[in-house]
Structure 1
Amino acid sequence: MAADEVCTTQKAAELLGISVSSVQQLVEAGVIEAWKTKGGHRRIPLAAVHAYKAAPQSGIARAAAAPATVPVPDVHAPVSVLVIEDNAMQRALFERQLAQWGLPIAVRFCENGYQALIEIARSQPDILLADIVMEGIDGYEVIKTIFGYPELADMNVAIVSSLEPDALEQRGGVPDGVVFFPKPVNFDELRGYVRACCAHTVRKRLRRTA
């Protein structure tokens, strides 16, 4: 394959409008074809990059592209909640607590940031509860990606993490518009937040149907 027919992960990230780490995750998952040189550097066929970019549901950019006709939202549909949590015990705790709240929500869980980006591209949840410290694409990378698209910027986003304030600041702090809940989680406070987000979502749907 000629040199002008391949690119680096950096170039692929620029072409796709995502981070280098996201490209690496896609390569490791086998979504984008690639190989390594003798020096250990990844090389990606440009054809594979363009094919991924053109494919439906290829990533969050596909979800962010505004459709020609915006469907009328179902005001009575459950409010969708996506929880990103890599710890199985924490996921089980979230699932048990959220099920007891009696709120009109539909909850999905992801174990890592890569899964979350795929799920966000597929369903565009109303509420995101994101852990921060995860292998590969972490919670900050997911949130940064979401806020990179105006069509997704009104998503209700909360960080749920055991990081201390100093450690959070070293990672960039809590982004504007994002709510922070420390672990162990005060589920009464989290329930109040989710309830408020549900009300906000319903009002937003009503405005769109008016």
Structure 2
Amino acid sequence: MKDSDKEFCSTREAAQMLGVAVATVQNMVENGTLEAWKTQGGHRRIRVQSVERFLQHNAPKLTAGFTPDRVAVLIAEDELSLQELYRQTLESWGLPLSVAVVGDGFDVLVHLGRHQPDVLITDMKMPGMNGFELVARLRADPAFANMDIIAVTGLSTQEIEARGGLPADIAVFGKPIPFDELRGYLRAKVAQKHRERAQF
């Protein structure tokens, strides 16, 4: 039987297909994002079709045409109306931005396996992997330690602290989304990127 005919794959093989860590695949199995079963020895066997479906479903959102001369912005937001609001608003500013929108923390990790944005804007309440889990994973990984992260939430400071808090370097924006503040933040990021490119 050829590899392409396999019905199931290991966690490691699924991680390679998705471009994410094995632990991410394990979480995707645990929350039902990927179909799998466990062997008697406790090893996961993941249905290849579920990995392919995940890639197919997320592929259009994960190819946003990031280019080095533009500030790459990745937005994690599960509400479709807010996804569209982000797209339309950021596009209307006329800034040199490349924007991709994904629906949850797992989608972010898959995207990061292909391209690291300059700025991640994440909702904190999402299905699957929420913003708190996502931020904790990213800040624990040296590869993403310097990526700008903006947390967008309707939670109060006390509610954020009750959920374990956020690192001090995370910008926190309230809801409704303060687009004027976000535009100022992204303008500063565009200017910073322009200065950095001019030095080379």
Q: 1:176/1:141 Cα in 2 relative to 1: closer, same or farther (>3 Å)?
A: same
Question: What stretches of structure 1 of length at least 5 have no aligned partner?
Answer: 1-5, 8-15, 49-73
Aligned residue in 2 for 1:70: none
Counterpart selection for 2:193 from 193, 196, 201: 201
- Letter in structure 2 aligned against 1:43: G
Instruction: Give distance in 2, aligned partners of 1:158 and 1:24.
Output: 23
Instruction: Give distance in 2, aligned partners of 1:172 and 1:203.
Output: 36
Q: 1:206/1:166 Cα in 2 relative to 1: closer, same or farther (>3 Å)?
A: same
Aligned residue in 2 for 1:23: 26
8 Å contact from structure 2 (residues 123, 131) kept in 1:
yes
Aligned residue for 2:167, secondary structure, equals: coil
Aligned residue for 2:42, secondary structure, equals: strand
Q: Spell out the pairing of 1:168-207 with structure 2 (5 A cutoff).
A: 168-206=160-198
Aligned residue in 2 for 1:103: 95
Output one character per residue of 1:113-172: Cα deviation in whole Å (capped at 9) or x when no partner.
111110112111111000001122111111122212223211111001111222111112
1:87 is aligned to 2:79: yes
8 Å contact from structure 2 (residues 74, 120) kept in 1:
yes
- Letter in structure 2 aligned against 1:80: A
Structure 1 residue 206: Cα displacement: 4.7
Structure 1 residue 35: Cα displacement: 2.4
Output one character per residue of 1:34-54: Cα deviation in whole Å (capped at 9) or x when no partner.
3287xxxx9325x98xxxxxx
Instruction: Give distance in 1, aligned partners of 2:185 and 2:156.
Output: 21
RMSD of equivalent CA atoms: 2.8
Aligned residue in 2 for 1:112: 104
Structure 1 residue 198: Cα displacement: 2.1
Instruction: Give distance in 1, aligned partners of 2:37 and 2:173.
Output: 39
Paired-residue identity, %: 30
Q: Which runs of 4+ in 1 moved over 6 A?
A: none
Output one character per residue of 1:81-103: Cα deviation in whole Å (capped at 9) or x when no partner.
00000111111111111011111
- Letter in structure 1 aligned against 2:144: L
Aligned residue for 2:186, secondary structure, equals: helix
- Letter in structure 1 aligned against 2:97: I
Instruction: Give distance in 2, aligned partners of 1:90 and 1:205.
Output: 32
Aligned residue for 1:167, secondary structure, equals: helix
Q: 1:44/1:199 Cα in 2 relative to 1: closer, same or farther (>3 Å)?
A: farther
8 Å contact from structure 1 (residues 156, 197) kept in 2:
no
- Matched pairs, number: 161
Instruction: Give distance in 1, aligned partners of 2:104 and 2:198.
Output: 33
- Letter in structure 2 aligned against 1:34: W
Aligned residue in 2 for 1:135: 127
Question: What stretches of structure 2 of length at least 5 have no aligned partner?
Answer: 1-9, 12-20, 47-66
- Letter in structure 1 aligned against 2:82: Q
Instruction: Give distance in 2, aligned partners of 1:166 and 1:18.
Output: 30
Q: Give me the TM-score of the superposition, normalised by structure 2.
A: 0.70
Structure 1 residue 17: Cα displacement: 7.4
Q: Give me the TM-score of the superposition, normalised by structure 1.
A: 0.67
Instruction: Give distance in 1, aligned partners of 2:194 and 2:133.
Output: 28
1:166 is aligned to 2:169: no
